[in-house]
């Protein structure tokens, strides 16, 4: 991809462009390579201007300082400008909210003034409060906005306290546990398949209602999570960081992290075993190319896409030596699954254009087997 992008920039017909990267500090994979690429292309292609936003991470700042041409704007040194922008945002959003919720002038003014006072030039804080107000009846609006403290950490603590006191507290904690452990943002259909509380595998006809119930439950998760295009995300990296810091074995996670990984692993094998079958897309012509394949509607393995790619990763990160050995034994879950469904799994990987990932997963599984056999023999 980097070569393709570089070739685009070097096209003689290419005049100029602005490339914007927001929240660079949230990049968790190959960040040094990305920074080096930005430096190289900005030096070699003066027609391209890079606009980057990031938290104050020393490692990022060190790399940025190496850039030959750069202009830096530190928000903490321009607090007045940021505060003015936040006030403008508050004014606009409260006016919009007042029209929608039918606030009178006195209520709208009170809400606006409290937000002005407590915002501390933080867009995210304001956005989270406004999100709560959108779900709040007009008569309770002032009480709600007064209840939230200034600052993100106090706000997150308040939100977490609300979650803990709600009727859906245990279910929210189960959802938090899964969303924090999964390897990528997860679809609603995938999430509902990964927990027995969210969906009973014995009742596949209930899946649509279970997804609707899940969406309602996510609304009770204290605004830590958001759903965009049927995919569950943390509202911000700081929300995920807060939950990880707050986590204790008896606190946020309904089980220890290793156990959550094992739950996802074992549940993945269950749902794949129930879903995968020969010619799952009913192609009937196995020799056609992948580009000729048309995805059926509904997609028969929509709920197991995540599981097909990542089930071995979750086994790999499970920390119980005894249970992992049992899973890998001839009578264990892994052996049983591969003996019965290996070819069907490969078929789905090919439909997902992920055969290369499958090869890596099998290699991981083999390495894990060797590792435990060696340790067990010692």
- The confidence score (pLDDT) of residue 17 equals 81
Count the Cβ atoms, other than its own, within 10 Å of residue 373: 12
- In the predicted model, residues of the chain with pLDDT beneath 50 are 248-250
Task: Provide the pLDDT for residue 248.
Answer: 47
pTM: 0.72
What is the bridge-based pairing of β-strands 225-228 and 231-234? antiparallel
Q: Please give the C-alpha separations between residue 188 and each of 54, 193, 228, 249, 335, in angstroms, as whole numbers.
A: 29, 9, 10, 26, 29
Can you give the pLDDT at residue 166? 85
Distance of CA 150 to the CA centre of its chain: 26
Contact 198, 210 (CB under 8 A): yes
Distances in Å between the alpha carbon of 313 and those of 81, 247, 317, 368?
Answer: 46, 22, 6, 11
Kindly tell me the burial class for residue 362, based on how many C-beta atoms sit within 10 Å of its own C-beta (0-12, 13-18, 19 or more). middle
Residue 182's pLDDT is what?
93
Residues near 29 by Cβ (< 8 Å), separated by ≥ 6? none
- Please tell me the predicted confidence (pLDDT) of residue 208: 72
Tokens representing residue 160 in the block: 């977490």
Whether the Cβ atoms of residue 197 and residue 187 lie closer than 8 Å to each other? no
């Amino acid at each position: 991809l980097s070569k393709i992008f570089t070739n685009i920039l070097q096209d003689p017909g290419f005049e100029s462009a602005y490339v914007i990267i927001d929240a660079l500090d949230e990049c968790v994979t190959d960040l040094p390579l990305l920074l080096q690429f930005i430096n190289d292309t900005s030096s070699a292609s003066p027609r391209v201007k890079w606009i980057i936003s990031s938290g104050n991470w020393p490692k990022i700042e060190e790399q940025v300082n190496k850039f030959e041409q750069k202009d830096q704007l530190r928000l903490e040194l321009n607090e007045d400008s940021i505060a003015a922008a936040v006030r403008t945002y508050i004014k606009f959003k409260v006016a919009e909210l007042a029209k929608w919720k039918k606030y009178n002038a006195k209520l709208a003014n009170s809400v606006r003034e409290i937000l002005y006072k407590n915002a501390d030039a933080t867009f995210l804080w304001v956005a989270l409060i406004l999100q709560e107000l959108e779900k709040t009846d007009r008569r309770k609006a002032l009480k709600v906005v007064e209840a939230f403290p200034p600052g993100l950490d106090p706000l997150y603590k308040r939100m977490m306290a609300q979650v803990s006191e709600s009727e859906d507290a245990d279910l929210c904690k189960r959802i938090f546990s899964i969303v924090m452990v999964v390897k990528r943002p997860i679809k609603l259909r995938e999430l509902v398949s990964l927990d027995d509380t969210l969906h009973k595998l014995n009742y596949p006809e209930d899946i649509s209602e279970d997804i609707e119930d899940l969406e309602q439950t996510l609304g009770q998760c204290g605004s830590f999570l958001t759903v965009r295009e049927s995919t569950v995300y943390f509202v911000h990296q700081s929300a995920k960081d807060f939950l990880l810091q707050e986590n204790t074995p008896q606190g946020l996670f309904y089980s220890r992290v290793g156990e959550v990984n094992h739950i996802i692993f074992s549940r993945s094998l269950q749902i794949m075993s129930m879903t995968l079958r020969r010619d799952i897309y009913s192609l009937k012509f196995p020799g056609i190319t992948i580009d000729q394949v048309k995805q059926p509607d509904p997609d028969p393995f929509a709920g197991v896409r995540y599981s097909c790619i990542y089930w071995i990763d979750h086994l790999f990160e499970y920390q119980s030596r005894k249970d992992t050995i049992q899973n890998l034994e001839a009578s264990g879950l892994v052996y049983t699954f591969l003996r019965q469904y290996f070819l069907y799994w490969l078929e789905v990987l090919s439909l997902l254009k992920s055969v290369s990932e499958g090869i890596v997963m099998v290699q991981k599984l083999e390495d894990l087997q060797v590792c435990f056999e060696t340790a067990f023999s010692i």
